[in-house]
Amino acid sequence: MKRSQLTADIYDDDTTEQAFKYQKTSQFYEDLLFVNQSIASHCIKGENNIKIMEHFLHLLKLNNEQQVTDQFAEGCVNLVIGYFNKYLNGKPEKIGSNNDEIDDYEKVWHAERIGNGGFGTVLKVTKRNQKTKQVETIRAMKIIPNSTMGLSEAFNAINLKHPNVIKIFNIMLIRNICCIEMEYLPFGSLQYLLDNKTVKFNHQQMVLILYQCCEVLALMRQNGMVHSDIKPANILIKKLNDTYLAEVAICDFGLSIHNETLANQMGIVSLGGTTKYCAPELLIFEDGQNRFKNGPDFKPTFHSDIYSLGKTFQKLLDNNQNNDVSNSVFENFDLTQMLDRFTSSNPQEREDGFYYFIFNYILFRNRKYDIWKNDIIAAEFCELTFHLDKALTIPSSSRAFIIEHGLLAFADESLRKDRQVVIETVKRKGLKLEFADESLRKDKEIVMEAVKQNGWALQYVDESLRKDREIVFEAIKIHGQAFKFADESLRKDRDFILKVAQNDHAFEFADESLRKDRKLVMELIKIQWQILKHADISLRKDREVILEAVQQNGWALEFADTLLKKDRGIVMAAIKSHGLALEFADESLKQDKEFVLEAVVIQGRALEFADESFRNDREIVLRAVQHDVWAFEFAGEALRKDRELVMIAINMHGRALKYADNELKKDRQVVMEAVQQHGWALEFADESLRKDREVVMEAVKTYGLQALEYADESLRNDVEFMKEAEIISLNSRK
């Protein structure tokens, strides 16, 4: 019997009898242990253990004879935990329970739940030596109630043999439950690191793991596969240290699809996936949020995977924005610019950016590129084989080649001293100044070109020019934080600070004495209020300074000291300057009804940041809506059912119907009032009223034929109705 037959027999047979018989054969062990070093190889041995597996399968059968429910799925997880924690430790009478009377570190076997996802539960399973109790093996065991999804994930991952793909050791299919044994990675996922803010990657590590992920996407493409759910939670950390090492593994291939043509024919929205990282061509904006497109309109591709990868690393970059850029050749990658290409609305631009990044990474790192030799598109995009075979050795003295590809780091020493080569190179990539000869980093013209292209190039400028006001000014215009590389004399220069004040980031690196200078800070706030966040803490406790800042822009309240966020006068001044500044006020003011009433008169949508209890306070909500109809979005559930309040809102703007209770969207009079005010409101009417000829015709009067987009199909197929609608639309324009 072949391995595929084992899967079919256990899954398709109405009883477990054949499966039991089959498991007693030697072929069963060969099939079950087809991957070396599987944890199953430790626990499935001999006649006694056959009885264990029979008993385990029997318990699964008793739980549910027909279909897998949530309760059954949870029961199976508990059975697996009990199987490892209790049964394999010699306590068979209560297989379904955890073994509390045995200390975890005394068990030969131990299983614990470490994660729950949309498609299953993950356990950490530890096997210790019977005698020494030393850990022999640790594995992750994923239990997936949907066997089709589980098998898809396992076999997709097995087919991708790559160090940056999660390693699968074994697959066991027991009725409808798929158990996947895979490598255990204790660092967790990128999402875990983002949520806990425990680690900030340096620039080199980010570029390195981005390249690793790109290799996996390229390998999937070569195998006709699309992942379709790339996100931080599906990228696991394999290795990480405090310097430059980082290695990741992509996991969760349950949504992966073989062949993009097949993907174009499938509606897999019901399977899941994550809209937050999903490409825009796969989404539709409905009811104020992004949703997956339906059926054949949902077509995940290699290009949509690139987009998801780009969004993932933009999130990672945001989390690392305060981390220093490491001093290495990796700085030559402008990650922000690169990820902008990955997340372009144009799929072809994503692909171009993807291969551009790959090509440059391989050149900089002299990385092995075997995987890319099979990638026809990569070869066509950059003549990869030619460049990699030739570029790293022969053309180091080729002026044109060095300039065109910005490879000054690999250029012959004579070219690094060549003024024309260097100036042409830094015009394209300012950071390449790092690799110019020391004499040229003192050349004001060359340096000026470099910092104009990339302000960060200031860090490679000769000390003498870091005092040059023109050079530093140009660098700050491009990147305010480049001021950190300026000479100390400029960072203490009061007049120079006033000159660069438009860039609030520059003030962060001004000398401490200037950040404490009250008179200077008051002057700067009038030019750029955001410098307040970099002012000394003593000035952020100064009422006069804060008042000046919030009068410039209410959002400056965010940087005020906690005590001043309780000051009614300060907070009200902030709200008058920017109505949504209530967000940064102290909770005591957000709970003050009189204060909130005053705030929503200035800006109705300040209701969003008021205490939750006020969302059902009719007086406050009415006052907010009267001053800004869109504040109705933040009304509580009870007030969304208030017919009178809803009528007030829709008479201000018909589309406020969107936030009314569903029962009022069925109310013909309410909907009629809404479409008479704005025909576009028909979008939010109940389906029954989108069939109402009179209601739809009123919508046409105020919104033209565009309103018919939301009319019921029966009306849009009615020839007479459509003719009448066209006449009414024409007349309404006169």
599-644 residue pLDDT tens: 999 999 999 999 999 999 999 999 999 999 999 999 999 999 999 9
- Is it the case that residue 170 has pLDDT exceeding 60? yes
Model confidence at 645, pLDDT cuts 50, 70, 90, reads very high
> What six digits make up the tokens of 264?
């174009």
Sign of CA dihedral 27, 29, 32, 33: negative
Could you report the per-residue pLDDT of 472-529, keeping only the tens digit for each?
999 999 998 899 999 999 999 999 999 987 787 889 899 999 999 999 999 999 999 9
Could you report the per-residue pLDDT of 328-342, keeping only the tens digit for each?
444 456 788 889 999
Class of domain 3-183: alpha beta
Phi, psi torsion values for 130, nearest 5 degrees? -55, -40
Cα of first residue to Cα of last residue in the chain, in angstroms, is 80
* Of 52, 40, 138, the residue nearest 87 (C-alpha): 52
CA 717, CA 131: separation in Å to the nearest integer?
79
- Is it the case that residue 408 has pLDDT exceeding 90? no
Q: What percent of the chain has pLDDT over 70?
A: 69
Which residue type occupies 126?
T
Sheet with 135-144, strands from edge to edge, namely 109-116, 121-128, 135-144, 177-183, 168-174
CA 326, CA 324: separation in Å to the nearest integer?
6
Q: What is the mean pLDDT of residues 417-435?
A: 91
CA 652, CA 129: separation in Å to the nearest integer?
74
Specify whether the CB–CB gap between 406 and 430 falls below 8 A: no
CA 341, CA 482: separation in Å to the nearest integer?
24
Give the CA radius of gyration of the chain.
Answer: 32
pLDDT at 562: 93
Sign of CA dihedral 636, 641, 644, 647: positive
CA 308, CA 303: separation in Å to the nearest integer?
9
- Is it the case that residue 175 has pLDDT exceeding 60? no
Total Cβ atoms within 10 A of residue 80: 23
CA 470, distance to chain mean position in Å, is 40
pLDDT at 29: 34
Q: Does domain 206-392 have CATH number 1.10.510?
A: yes
Query: Helix, strand, coil proportions of the chain in percent (round to 5)?
Result: 65, 10, 25
Collapse the DSSP code of 292 into the 3-class scheme (helix H, G, I; strand E, B; otherwise coil) and give the result: strand
Total Cβ atoms within 10 A of residue 495: 7
Phi, psi torsion values for 376, nearest 5 degrees? -60, -40
Q: What element of type H or E holds 677?
A: helix 668-677
119 contact partners, CB below 8 Å, separation of at least 6: 144, 146, 149, 150, 153, 252, 254, 272
- Ligand-binding annotation for 142, yes or no, is yes
Helical H segments across 374-515, by residue range: 376-382, 384-390, 399-405, 413-416, 419-428, 444-453, 469-478, 488-491, 494-499, 504-507, 512-515
Which residue type occupies 271?
L
Specify whether the CB–CB gap between 594 and 570 falls below 8 A: no
Average pLDDT, the chain: 77
Cα–Cα–Cα angle for 717, 721, 726, nearest 5°?
A: 105
- Is it the case that residue 197 has pLDDT exceeding 80? no
Specify whether the CB–CB gap between 454 and 431 falls below 8 A: yes
**DSSP string across 439-451:** GGGG-HHHHHHHH
